[in-house]
Every structure is written in C-alpha cells, then in structure tokens.
C-alpha cells in the first residue's frame, strides 16, 4: 500500500487556507492538527477544516503529533525558529511561508539545520507553479526576446512581503540565475511595519543577474497600487504575461503561448520526499531571494553597488533604524496586521 503522511499547521488564519487546500486535495496526506496563539483563530479554522487536535503551543503540538509535514503560516519573524523546531521534532518536510524571515542570518540557519537533519524545506513562493509564469520561463530559455530586463512597476505592500515573491519568481523565470549586482534606494519616513517586521515606505532597485538578465523592481512608489501583469523586454522582443498566460511579440510576429499544466505544490513535495527530483521551491534557492532583499537594503544603507558574496546576518534596514539614520514621523503602524505589531512589540520591544 502506498505510504500516507500526516501534516500539521502553525498559524491558522489567512494563508493557512491555501495550505489546507493542498492537503485536502492530496490523496495520501492528511492534515491532522493545528496550532495558533490566538484561540479564536485556532477554533474557527479547526472547526472549518474538521480538525480535532488543536494547540496553543507549537512545541507541544510537534511533540505529541509528530507530523511528517509541517506548514509554517505565522508572521515573518517566527518562520526560521518554527521551521527549525519542526525539523528537530523529526518532520520529513517543512513548508515555510514567505518571506523566510526578517534578515539573512536566521533563514540561513534554518536552511542549514534542515539540510543537516535531512528535512526537506520549501518556501511558499507558489507562483512558481503558475502556468503563465512557466510559459514566460520557456520563452526566455528559448531566447525569444534575447537577454531581458524584467519590468514590473508599482507593486505594493512592502519589499519583504511582495518583493520576496517577485524576486523569487523572476529568478525562476531566469532559470534560477544568481545575482551579480544590486543598486537600490529606499525611503522610510513612516514608522511602518508589515506583519510585525520593519517596513520601508518605498523601494526602487536594479538587480543584475548572470546571463545579462536584469530586473527593475519598484515597490510602493505609488501608494495603493498593486501589480497584475508583468513584462520582459529584450533586444529582440517583448513578453507580456500574468499567472494565466503569456504573449510574445518578436520578429516572428505576435503569438500567445499555450500554457502547460503544472503539478500541485504539494504533489511535487511528496515526490521529492519519496526520492523524486528536488522541489522547485527548495529553501536554499528561496534563500537567494532573501539575500537579494537584504542586499537591496545594504545598497540603500551604503549608497553603493553591492556584489556577491553577501552574508551579513542582520537586516541592514534594522541597522539603519537602530542607528537613527532613518528618522520617522508618527506612531508605529502595521500596514497589514496590527496584532502582529503588538506581538513584535511584546516579544522584541519593537516599534515602541
Ligand atoms: N504565499 C503567499 O502568497 C502568502 C499570502 C499571504 C500571506 N503570506 C505569508 O504568510 C504569513 C502569515 O500571513 P497571514 O496573512 O496568513 O497572517 P494572519 O495574521 O492572517 O495569520 C497568522 C496567524 O499566525 C498566528 N501566529 C502568529 N505567531 C504565532 C506563533 N508564534 N505560534 C502560533 N501561531 C502564531 C496568528 O495568531 C495568526 O492567527 C506571513 O508571513 C505572510 O507574508 C503568504
């Protein structure tokens, strides 16, 4: 009989519903337990998912349930510690939400510890599975437009929040290319946080990758605007795409690419757990996106071009805030979840 797996989830709100959907749709994985520090969120979600085993303490849950797969769906600062706890409790795989953390050091530790323990860690940059993004990836690999620049204006919601998806997706489309340089600037006048993590008001960056590809990243330049479509502009043409599909315009004319069906995020993880190919969202790859975001802050901090290797553990944004270099106006405000800022205030004395 084919092996079955038991999953548990920490952080039973918001994005946890997407993870629950993966588990529900996989015939050999059962979601058996949930954990949240907020009892109301815990009970509402477990009732909706039909889950009996409910915990307010993740360590207790990991010890009692001994899950094979753990979903980490809490606020940013806790992702590395929960991932390490799950791996140390014996989980075979962990799905960590993005961003991997608030800095570079803690996520790098989580990746290293999981590797040491043989725990398969993936990061939930799920749009690597979007048919349209994969169609664009194929076009770029075929050289349909030459070496492109990614043009993605006016995304909103903070660098770590939205940038983690965009940078990781761009790397996927560029064949997981390594970055070669970053030149960036940020502004932080508001005393802003995003799910409890320091957040700048605006970011603008130029990221260069191996192979001559590049990415221009503008986040929150025009407040309130969010991205939808995305373009790659190359010397030989343009690719315009979104999650559903891609259109390419080059010397051969304009053609719509037939998107290829993709497996589910969890199917690919179970395959990997059973000896199949590495998951496309392997955490060591996602760590490069985390590193790029920290290098963006470092470029802003030092007002200079940053090149690899980059291994500073602390967030340069935190460094700039601590040094008083970024003077802010007004009270601390969380742009997504005020309760996450309260948690960060109580736990780290942040934003007080
Ligand atoms: N991949 C995506 O597209 C996507 C989309 C939305 C959110 N996210 C990410 O998911 C994470 C959660 O975001 P959300 O919108 O679901 O937040 P949310 O506030 O809706 O839910 C988070 C839950 O985690 C709980 N929690 C926080 N710390 C905890 C701890 N130490 N132990 C147990 N429970 C804890 C909170 O009480 C809350 O119920 C964030 O890091 C966010 O960036 C990813």
Q: What average pLDDT does this structure show over 57-62? A: 98
> pLDDT tens, 203-223?
999 999 999 999 999 999 887
- Cα–ligand 1 centroid distance for 167 (angstroms): 20
For residues 9 and 25, membership in a common domain is answered with yes
For residues 338 and 247, membership in a common domain is answered with yes
Structure tokens at 56: 């307010």
> pLDDT tens, 269-288?
999 999 999 999 999 999 99
Q: What is the mean pLDDT of the chain?
A: 96
Q: What average pLDDT does this structure show over 14-32? A: 98
Domain that holds residue 298: 131-261+289-348
Sequence-distant (≥ 6) Cβ neighbours of residue 345 within 8 angstroms: 332, 351, 352
What is the CATH classification number for the domain harbouring 51? 3.40.50.720
Amino acid 260: pLDDT = 94
For residues 142 and 273, membership in a common domain is answered with no
Share of the chain above pLDDT 90, in %: 93
* Candidate of 8, 10, 12, 14 to mutate for ligand 1, largest count of ligand atoms within 8 Å of Cβ: 14
For residues 64 and 209, membership in a common domain is answered with no
CA 335 to CA 194: how far, in whole Å? 5
Beta strands in the chain (DSSP E): 5-10, 29-35, 53-55, 69-72, 93-96, 120-123, 149-155, 179-187, 190-194, 197-198, 202-209, 214-219, 230-234, 237-241, 246-250, 253-257, 329-334
For residues 122 and 169, membership in a common domain is answered with no
Amino acid 153: pLDDT = 64
For residues 273 and 293, membership in a common domain is answered with no
For residues 304 and 276, membership in a common domain is answered with no
**Domain end residue (candidates: 281, 311, 329):** 281
Amino acid 229: pLDDT = 76
> pLDDT tens, 101-149?
999 999 999 999 999 999 999 999 999 999 999 999 999 999 999 999 9
Residue 225: band (very low, low, confident or very high) from pLDDT cuts 50, 70, 90: confident
**Domain end residue (candidates: 234, 249, 281):** 281
For residues 222 and 79, membership in a common domain is answered with no
* Ligand 1: residue whose CA is nearest its atom 29: 74
Amino acid 278: pLDDT = 98
For residues 84 and 179, membership in a common domain is answered with no
- Cα–ligand 1 centroid distance for 75 (angstroms): 4
Number of domains in the chain: 2
What is the CATH classification number for the domain harbouring 194? 3.30.360.10
For residues 142 and 227, membership in a common domain is answered with yes
Residue 228: band (very low, low, confident or very high) from pLDDT cuts 50, 70, 90: low
For residues 176 and 151, membership in a common domain is answered with yes
For residues 108 and 141, membership in a common domain is answered with no
- Cα–ligand 1 centroid distance for 98 (angstroms): 10
Q: Does 126 contact ligand 1 (Cβ within 6 A)?
A: yes
């Amino acid at each position: 009989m084919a092996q079955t797996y038991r999953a548990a989830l920490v952080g039973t709100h918001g994005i946890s519903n997407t993870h629950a959907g993966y588990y529900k749709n996989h015939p050999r994985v059962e979601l058996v337990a949930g954990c949240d520090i907020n009892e109301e969120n815990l009970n509402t979600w477990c009732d909706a998912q039909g889950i009996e085993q409910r915990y307010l303490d993740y360590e207790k849950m990991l010890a009692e349930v001994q899950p094979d797969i753990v979903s980490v769906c809490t606020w940013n600062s806790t992702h590395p510690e929960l991932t390490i706890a799950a791996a140390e409790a014996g989980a075979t795989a962990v799905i960590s939400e993005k961003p991997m953390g608030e800095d570079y050091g803690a996520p790098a530790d989580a990746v290293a510890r999981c590797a040491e323990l043989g725990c398969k860690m993936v990061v939930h940059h799920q749009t690597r599975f979007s048919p349209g993004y994969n169609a664009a990836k194929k076009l770029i690999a075929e050289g349909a437009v030459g070496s492109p620049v990614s043009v993605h204006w006016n995304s909103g919601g903070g660098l770590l929040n939205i940038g983690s998806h965009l940078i990781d997706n761009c790397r996927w489309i560029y064949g997981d290319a390594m970055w070669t340089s970053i030149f960036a600037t940020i502004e932080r006048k508001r005393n802003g946080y995003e799910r409890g993590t320091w957040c700048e008001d605006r970011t603008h960056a130029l990221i260069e990758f191996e192979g001559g590809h590049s990415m221009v990243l503008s986040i929150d330049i025009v407040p309130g605007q969010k991205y939808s479509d995305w373009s790659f502009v190359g010397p030989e043409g343009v690719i315009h795409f979104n999650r559903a599909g891609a259109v390419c315009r080059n010397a051969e004319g304009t053609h719509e690419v037939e998107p290829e069906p993709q497996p589910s995020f969890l199917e690919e993880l179970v395959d990997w757990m059973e000896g199949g190919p590495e998951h496309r969202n392997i955490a060591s790859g996602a760590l490069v996106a985390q590193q790029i975001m920290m290098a963006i802050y470092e470029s802003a901090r030092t007002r200079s071009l940053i090149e690899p290797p980059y291994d500073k553990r602390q967030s340069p944004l935190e460094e700039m805030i601590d040094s008083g270099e970024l003077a802010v106006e007004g009270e601390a405000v969380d742009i997504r979840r005020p309760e996450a800022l309260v948690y960060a205030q109580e736990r780290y004395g942040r934003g007080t």
